[in-house]
A and B are shown apart, each in its own frame.
Chain A
Amino acid sequence: MMQKLEKILMPIANVLSRNKILIAIRDGFLVTVPITIVGSIFLLIANFPLEGFLNMMTSIFGAGWDAYLGRVSAIAFDCVALLGVLSIGYCYSREKGLENRIGGAVVALVCFLIITPQKTVVELEGAAEAASFSGFQFTFLGTAGMFLAMITAILSVEIYAWAIKKKLIIRLPDGVPPMVMESFASLIPSAIAMTIFFAVGIIFDHTSFEYAHYFIYRVLQAPLVGLGKLSGFEVIYQFLSTLFWFFGINGPAVTNTIFSPIHKVLTVENYEAAQAGLEMTNIFTAGFSDFFCNFGGGGSTLGLVIIMAFLGKSNRMKTLGRLSLPAGIFGINEPLIFGLPIVLNPLMAVPFILTPVVNTIIGYLATVTGIMPITLGVQLPWTCPIVFSGFLVTGSVMGSVVQIVMLIVDVLIYYPFFKLLDKRYLEEESAAGGQEDELDNLSFDDLELD
């Protein structure tokens, strides 16, 4: 059965993990993660879930201190599409094998800005006419523009790369500095891409959608992000991620090509709702996925590492558990994946795949029943340890409590499978059956060296 399953999964993994467009989108969003994390830290300080801390800050810096911090978090969240188009443009230029990758990225950014509304009309109370001003609105540069940013980045770089491949470039004589040469070589490809997007913008101006943003949002983004709001969304993501890992394939690297943009939008939508004073409604944010589904790495192996370290009877279990525990607390389980091993080990397949799914269900139920608050629109480093992450990502101690409950459940799920493997290792170590031979006392100390 496992062989049949692998035969089905392998082509899917190959298509998803080798598709240049999906890789560029996945990696492009990864580029924006540090910015979002830094923005989240500023946001957390400004909205720290302890009244005493906020009062102390006000007493030190005066009223309105939090508004300064908002300058950083606003760029990280409200300009997420802007950052995305640049980084995806860069990554797609890399995938297309372009030498001038930054050239491709800048063209993507410019094309996105060309089709973004540059004039804002504001209805002022008491004024006879609506006022208008020139400038971009955060509305079009944030989550609402994310899918358009992806599409624009891919199409503009595709056009740019096509023009370069067709040698539609200006060649300067030898001896011209390389930077100048590169700059002029990009001139015609950039012009073609920008002109096409200029035309696209005008076409949308004459439709009922008015802007490409509204069209993509209604036709593509809203339905896809709607999938992320279904209760089964996160379960499917977690299940597939660990299933791929069991076959030795880096699960998230495959599944994130599809799920990562949706997680990102769901997260930033919560941030925008909170900023607007509205209720946050998205349960399956990046914070939920990172801190309420897996502890200690893929397969939520922290529970396993703890029982290996403290309840293991075989030397192998004890040693590996104790050595893996420090890294496990910070979400890293590589020594376990290949050292226990988990990859291609049928005995560990069941708990490895089941545990994150059970965590996801517990987290979902705890959220919908109000036991813990919905996760905020912040993004923390995925290495943030359990308990701290639960508190910070929900702004409530209950987030930490739910994590501890999940960890106990994880231990219970892994325990019977751990016992079976530990027993097997113990038998091997004690040379069961008394079949002692010259291999029992192998030592590098008494070797004869020629």
Chain B
Amino acid sequence: MKVVLIFDQGLAGAGGKSNPNVGLTAVKGGVGSALMLEPHFEKIGAQVAATLYCGNEYFLHNEEEVVTKMTAMIKKVKPDFVLCGPCFNYPDYSRMAAMISANILQNTEFKSCAMMSVENAETIEAYKDKTPILKMPKKGGTGLNDSFADLCEFMQCTVEGSGELEAVRNRVCY
């Protein structure tokens, strides 16, 4: 399974609040927090083909450009699945992830989801009908590993078109 990750600068390992204006960047393979996901991805035979990211403030100043170009890059890479997250409780990143995932699902044939904690209630409410949004703990909360296991189950069911997808979605998504 070929996966593309969409991160903000913090999860990409390009600095946190000290580097909020980093522009749109595409890197082959996984960077930063991809390492956290790797053991879980291995279990379902998923490999990170590329990581796309930008700074949270760059997104806030260029929302339309970020969503359009990220979607165009997905078309170019042609992954089996796009993971927009894990966003924890970062509000800007969560909004960016939900917007990009919704746009990918609406305008391309690729499969995608966002992943964030319940603290992003406004974003979840606004986008949960446009894209699957997976549950996860906030930064420092309990259950991170379990949420990654749920993510992998969801990814596998989605890519394989499993009959269990609806049940899994009801369990792991908002």
A279 at the interface (CB under 8 A from B): no
> Taking CB as reference atom, which chain A residue is nearest B72?
A447
Tell me if B72 and A449 are in contact (CB < 8 A).
yes
B159 within 8 A of A: no
Residues of B64-112 contacting chain A, CB below 8 A: 68-69, 72-73, 76-77, 88, 107
In the bound assembly, the distance between CA atoms of A231 and B145 in angstroms comes to 34
Q: Is the CB of A442 within 8 A of B28?
A: yes
Given A443-B26, A449-B68, decide whether A335 and B15 contact each other with a Cβ distance below 8 A: yes
Within 206-254 of A, Cβ neighbours of B (below 8 Å) are at 245, 247-250, 253
User: Which residue of A14, A247, A340, A444 contacts B13 across the interface (Cβ within 8 Å)?
Assistant: A340
Shortest distance in angstroms between A302's beta carbon and chain B's nearest beta carbon? 15
Q: How far is the CA of A326 from the CA of B17 in the complex (A)?
A: 11
With A439-B77, A442-B50, A444-B26 as contacts: A250 and B141 at CB distance below 8 Å: yes
CB pair B142 A249 closer than 8 Å: yes
Closest to B32 in A: A339
Query: CB within 8 A of B139: which of A10, A250, A345?
Result: A250
The reply to whether B15 and A319 contact each other, CB–CB distance below 8 Å, is yes
With both beta carbons as reference points, the residue of chain A lying nearest to B16 in the complex is identified as A335
Please report the C-alpha to C-alpha distance between residue A335 and residue B20 in the assembled complex, in whole angstroms: 12
Q: Does A316 make an interface contact (CB < 8 A)?
A: yes
CB < 8 Å neighbour of A10 from B23, B25, B26, B143: B143
A344 interfacial contact with B, CB 8 Å: yes
Q: How far is the CA of A6 from the CA of B148 in the complex (A)?
A: 14
Count contacts on A: residues with CB < 8 A to the other chain. 39
Contact across chains for B18 and A442 when beta carbons are under 8 A apart: no
Inter-subunit contact B14/A344 (CB<8 Å): no
- B168 contacts chain A at the CB level, 8 A cutoff: no
Q: Is B19 an interface residue (CB 8 A)?
A: yes
Contacts of B32 in A (CB 8 A): 316, 338-341
CB <8 Å contact, A323 and B18: yes
Could you tell me if B142 and A327 are in contact, using CB atoms closer than 8 angstroms?
A: no
Q: Of B11, B28, B107, B140, which one neighbours A339 at CB under 8 angstroms?
A: B11
> Which A residues lie within 8 Å of B144 (CB)?
247-249, 343-344
For A341, give its contact among B28, B35, B50, B77 (CB under 8 Å).
B35
**In contact, A339 and B27 (Cβ under 8 angstroms):** no
Q: Does A95 contact B (CB under 8 A)?
A: no
Question: Residue among A3, A442, A450 with the most chain B CB within 10 A?
Answer: A442
For the complex, give the distance between the alpha carbons of A431 and B28 in Å. Answer: 9
Contact with B along A314-325 (1 / 0, CB 8 A): 001001100110
**B24 on the A face (CB < 8 A):** yes
A311 contacts chain B at the CB level, 8 A cutoff: no
> Is B15 a contact partner of A324 (Cβ separation < 8 A)?
yes
Q: Select one of B18, B24, B25 contacting A327, CB under 8 A.
A: B18
A428 within 8 A of B: yes
Closest chain A residue, CB of each to CB of B26: A442
Which residues from B are CB-within-8-Å of A340? 13, 32, 35
Q: Chain A residues near B107: list those with CB within 8 A.
A: 450
Q: Which residues of B contact A439 (CB under 8 A)?
A: 28-29, 49-50, 77
Least Cβ–Cβ distance between A331 and chain B, in angstroms:
14
Q: Whole-angstrom distance from the CB of B71 to the nearest CB of chain A?
A: 9
- A425 to B69 Cα, complex, angstroms: 27
CB of B132 closer than 8 Å to a CB of A: no
8 A Cβ contacts from A1-55 to B:
3, 6, 10, 13-14, 17
Quick one: which of B101-152 are within 8 Å of A by CB?
107, 137, 139-145
A99 located at the interface, meaning its Cβ lies under 8 Å from any Cβ of chain B in the complex: no
In the complex, the answer to whether B10 meets A335 with C-beta atoms within 8 Å is: yes
Distance to closest chain B CB from A369 (angstroms) = 36
B26 and A339 within 8 A (CB): no
Q: Is the C-beta of B5 less than 8 angstroms from some C-beta in chain A?
A: no
Asked if A339 and B18 make an inter-chain contact with CB atoms under 8 angstroms apart, the answer reads no
A262 CB, nearest partner CB in chain B, Å: 22
B6 at the interface (CB under 8 A from A): no
**Per-position binary interface string of chain A over residues 282-295, scored 1 when its CB falls under 8 Å from any chain B CB and 0 otherwise:** 00000000000000
Contacts A444-B73, A447-B69, A449-B68 given: A339-B137 contact, CB under 8 Å?
A: no
Q: Is A341 a contact partner of B36 (Cβ separation < 8 A)?
A: yes
State A341–B140 Cα separation when bound (angstroms).
14
Q: Complex formed: what's the CA distance from A319 to B32 in Å?
A: 12
Of B12, B18, B69, B88, which one neighbours A326 at CB under 8 angstroms? B18
Q: What are the nearest 6 A-B pairs in CB distance?
A: A250-B140, A323-B15, A248-B144, A335-B16, A339-B13, A442-B26
Subset of 22 A-B contacts with CB under 8 Å: A248-B145, A316-B31, A319-B15, A324-B16, A334-B16, A334-B17, A335-B13, A335-B16, A339-B11, A339-B16, A341-B13, A344-B36, A344-B144, A345-B36, A428-B29, A439-B49, A442-B26, A442-B50, A444-B24, A444-B26, A444-B69, A444-B73
Residues of B within 8 A of A (CB): 10-19, 23-29, 31-33, 35-36, 39, 49-50, 68-69, 72-73, 76-77, 88, 107, 137, 139-145
Q: Which residues of A contact B (CB under 8 A)?
A: 3, 6, 10, 13-14, 17, 245, 247-250, 253, 316, 319-320, 323-324, 326-327, 334-335, 338-341, 343-345, 428, 431, 439-440, 442-444, 447-450
Given contacts A247-B144, A444-B69, 16 further A-B contacts (CB under 8 A): A6-B145, A10-B142, A14-B142, A323-B16, A335-B18, A338-B11, A338-B32, A339-B10, A339-B16, A339-B33, A344-B145, A439-B50, A442-B76, A442-B77, A444-B23, A450-B107
